[in-house]
Structure 1
């Protein structure tokens, strides 16, 4: 019975990892679509979100079945609870990727004036977020507490990008009415990326809980 349970936990972890990579792909495509004004790619992100939602529901159901049928205790139970909560974080990150994609479609339709300097900053911000997402999945798979703590510190970099983009856009919007619509969307997109960074930090905190049994805020 223990071997069967271990196989099921391995399957659970594999599904979670697959979902993490799917969400990271959605974030990357959404930001690429925004920077390149690619409405087709943005539409693809929106359409693929149903797959992420389905993966979250399937994973949650699988976790409930493990709890009901196997009645796990101690570390096994922490592992299942961690995946349930972390998969919810991933699903919300996917929702923010969709929100970025919607901004692409909205800006495209409004033909708003762009601000190249801000698009560069958003690209850099997205790269930091991308690394955080990828590394958090790696930290979960390896049970690496120190890596999880390191990843969480990067959230302050994401926060700083958000502040800088916000200030720059407000300044440009005040001086040039033609960038008001576009500037507002830059602020929204930066905000979505900032929230994704927060969810990654949540996952890092859940990794700590999984490995140590302690609940600790990392940022």
Structure 2
């Protein structure tokens, strides 16, 4: 098999693994909100147990990438694509960790919640999912326009984060017994806000891939 053809096959394998990690993380985020909304403790525990798959996939991606760099000695955009894949895999794995954190908050809240889940939290969750999927699409398609849209959505998540915390603090007034649950929901807001930031980091790696320069999309 010609060297270039073998390289292309291995590069595709790297990208396929990244897609698999992205799909796993997308599903973990979906399940985390489902567990929180229904206070499904069993589902929350499953999310925590399944997280080892995200770690293993990231390790596989790193192993393939290191092998490609060592054996194929890629240059220019091929090298940037491999480096970007390593960085993006780390970002996606961190997002999967936030899904686990939401599951942990679900368990800490327990089966008899006193506070109804805020619509703003649901909106944050939807935006974060959209950002994850669009940022990965941007990477696979070398699409800077999609990367910019991810950064724009991050501004909306930040806005919703502020609204959610303000509303939760309002619920806390005179309701001391609700404080532990309000605290956990505040953590959930923070987890989603941070997950959105990691999606923006993925978008920044798309800029690096296409342009060969680093851009800060969080400013």
Q: Report TM bin, short chain.
A: over 0.9
1:61 is matched with 63
2:161 is matched with 162
Partners of 2:85 and 2:198 in 1: CA distance: 14
Partners of 1:36 and 1:203 in 2: CA distance: 31
Deviations 1:108-160 (A, max 9, x none): 16x442234x2x22112101111111111111111111111111110011111
Of 94, 97, 120, the match for 2:96 = 94
1:137 is matched with 136
Unaligned runs of 5+ residues in structure 2 are: none
Answer yes or no: is 1:115 the counterpart of 2:113.
no
Deviations 1:162-209 (A, max 9, x none): 111111111211221121111101100000000000000000000010
CA contact 1:115–1:179 (8 Å) conserved in 2: no
Of 75, 78, 82, the match for 2:77 = 75
Aligned-residue offset at 1:107: 0.7
Q: Could you tell me the TM-score, scaled by structure 1's length?
A: 0.95
2:4 is matched with 2
SS of the equivalent of 1:175 reads: coil
Deviations 1:56-102 (A, max 9, x none): 01111111111111111111110000000010001111111100000
Partners of 2:51 and 2:81 in 1: CA distance: 26
SS of the equivalent of 1:154 reads: helix
CA contact 1:113–1:178 (8 Å) conserved in 2: no
SS of the equivalent of 2:110 reads: helix
Partners of 1:131 and 1:90 in 2: CA distance: 13
Runs of 4+ in structure 1 deviating by more than 6 angstroms, as ranges, are none
2:146 is matched with 147
1:19 is matched with 21
